[in-house]
Amino acid sequence: MVLDRVRGTGKDRGRIGVGKNDVDQHRSPRQLHALSQQLDLTIGGAFKLFGYSLESMRQLDFVLNGVRTRIIETYPFFRDRLVEVPAVLGEERAFLRTSFLSELVRSWQRNIPIREIHGRNWRGQKLIYAQIGTNDGIALPRIPPGSVIGVSEIDASELASPDPERYYFLQHQIGYTCSRCIVDKGRLLLITRGERVDTPMEFVYPGQVRIIGRVLWFATKLPIPRPGPLVSRISRSQAPLILPWEHKSFSDLLAAEGMRFGITTKYVSQIGDLLEQHLGVRMSTRTLRRYERGNADHMPRTGVLLALVAIHSLRSSDVFRLLHMWRTTKPQLSLKTLMGLKGRDERRSLFDPVLVPEPIARWQQLLQQWGEWPVLVSTNYPRPTTRVDNLVRLHLDKQALEFNPIFNSGSIIGIDDDDTVPPRNGVIDGDAWNRPLYAFRIATETLHGYLETGATHLAIQPNPSAGRPRRSFHRNQIRVLGRIVEVVSTL
């Protein structure tokens, strides 16, 4: 069977592609697209049939490009992944205090195909998603390196005069940047806390830089990722200020992002082993430049196409649109779903619409704040009901603000309740994002901050920028809920 050949041995199963000697090498991307049309199979399912997981391209992108800030893929290629979404929200008072997810959502819609999360009731604004590079500290101390950010489009007046207190996502000729900024006399100036960065701090506006949108929120795991090794790159670039989905041809897209990221022969050589490990191909600079210049007389074979996507930090969805390999109006199924169908009636039942959470007015308020229900959240955490007592929405009153290190009211934190012992003589100095943060209760209030363990007391270390003294409590006055391991913070 083809699937038996594609699955390969145990050592192959963690790979995005199964290898250069397998059956997938005889199938071009055009053939996979044609197969998806014939079988009513999603493009992700067609690639999966021959050993390539488009869902796993996100992980490869981070391995290759995580050090640099870039736009990331959020389209769920496994369209029939079953997820849970809210059905009935909690009472209004739960949103006026710090509350656990179990209080915020009273009931859930279960086994919803992720494809159904679309439309105005789930996407109040169409967000662009990006990830700040692990080596990019320009948005500190507010947004840490490695964070995923949700970016909303802005109107012409804000483009002409951005708010210096807001964070914006920018495209320029040598990359992408998340920063505060101001526009003055035809120039855009970045606002930072003064650290040295590789990005230019001043641009001709709009000639040398483009404001893509305003950052609504960011998400990060704690501790934040360590900076990676510096990537070899060409320092000068004349890349056009065109967003990836605005290009008219695949070669134009490759050329633009190749120039923007300064991809060098040395870099292509450095990642050769990773490409072969995950995609079964090695890429020469000659091949790379041929496709960037549009000199190739045929579409790249499947492994090479995905390697080009990975090297240039592209979204597969943008590439497939340019190559006319995108969705049709007919409903298509993922590979696993198609293989498990027993009849046509079962197929129709898969596309029942998801219900709008109630009460609708409160749900719309949340959409306005966050922009949309992030599909990326459902992809990474399809079963939130398993975490209802580990996720907390913060409502920061006066006492909470005294301890609050870096979050806004309305932010969501994830708690590891297996780690309830704060460090003795905890670090006071250093990066606020890498110091252990804990959630705890004092009386009936849930708070969070930096804790230090003493013989009989727990000390709360305020954010150094707050200029407040630390406060000590007897152990029986504080209940430590756990260490904070992830944050989704509004801005």
Quick one: tokens of 121? 């009731």
Check which CATH number belongs to the domain holding 483 and give it: 2.10.109.10
CA–CA dist 461, 454 (Å, integer): 13
Examine residue 320 and state whether it is found in any structural domain, yes or no.
Answer: no
Phi-psi label, residue 3: left if phi above 0, alpha if psi -120 to 50, beta otherwise: alpha
**Confidence tier at 433 by pLDDT (50, 70, 90):** confident
Please give the C-alpha separations between residue 116 and each of 253, 287, 328, 377, in angstroms, as whole numbers: 30, 39, 16, 14
22 pLDDT above the threshold of 80 = no
Q: Higher confidence at residue 220 or residue 418?
A: 220
The widest CA-to-CA distance across the chain, in whole angstroms, is 75
CA 147 to chain centroid: 8
- Secondary element (H or E) of residue 213: strand 209-221
Q: Do the beta carbons of residue 451 and residue 422 sit within 8 Å?
A: yes
Burial of 404 (0-12, 13-18, 19+ CB in 10 A): buried
Examine residue 425 and state whether it is found in any structural domain, yes or no.
Answer: yes
Task: Give the count of domains, the chain.
Answer: 1
Examine residue 483 and state whether it is found in any structural domain, yes or no.
Answer: yes
CA-based torsion, 57, 60, 65, 67: positive or negative = positive
CA 312 to chain centroid: 17
CA–CA dist 143, 221 (Å, integer): 12
Which of 406, 335, 422 has its CA nearest to residue 144?
A: 406
- 134-155: per-residue pLDDT in tens? 999 999 889 999 999 999 999 9
Examine residue 286 and state whether it is found in any structural domain, yes or no.
Answer: no
Q: Work out the percent of the chain whose per-residue pLDDT is above 70.
A: 85
Cβ-proximal residues to 411 (8 Å cutoff; 6+ apart), any chain = 393, 394, 487, 488, 489, 490
pLDDT attached to residue 244: 97
Phi-psi label, residue 279: left if phi above 0, alpha if psi -120 to 50, beta otherwise: alpha
94 pLDDT above the threshold of 60 = yes
Using only C-alpha atoms, the chain has a radius of gyration, in whole angstroms, of 24
- 357-393: per-residue pLDDT in tens? 999 999 999 999 999 999 999 999 999 999 999 999 9
402 pLDDT above the threshold of 60 = no
Examine residue 156 and state whether it is found in any structural domain, yes or no.
Answer: no
Q: Do the beta carbons of residue 162 and residue 224 sit within 8 Å?
A: no
Q: Higher confidence at residue 4 or residue 202?
A: 202
Residue range of the domain that includes 416: 390-490
Examine residue 167 and state whether it is found in any structural domain, yes or no.
Answer: no
Q: How many alpha carbons lie under 13 Å from residue 52 in its C-beta half-sphere?
A: 31
Q: Do the beta carbons of residue 156 and residue 203 sit within 8 Å?
A: no
Examine residue 72 and state whether it is found in any structural domain, yes or no.
Answer: no
Examine residue 222 and state whether it is found in any structural domain, yes or no.
Answer: no
Sequence letter at residue 274: L
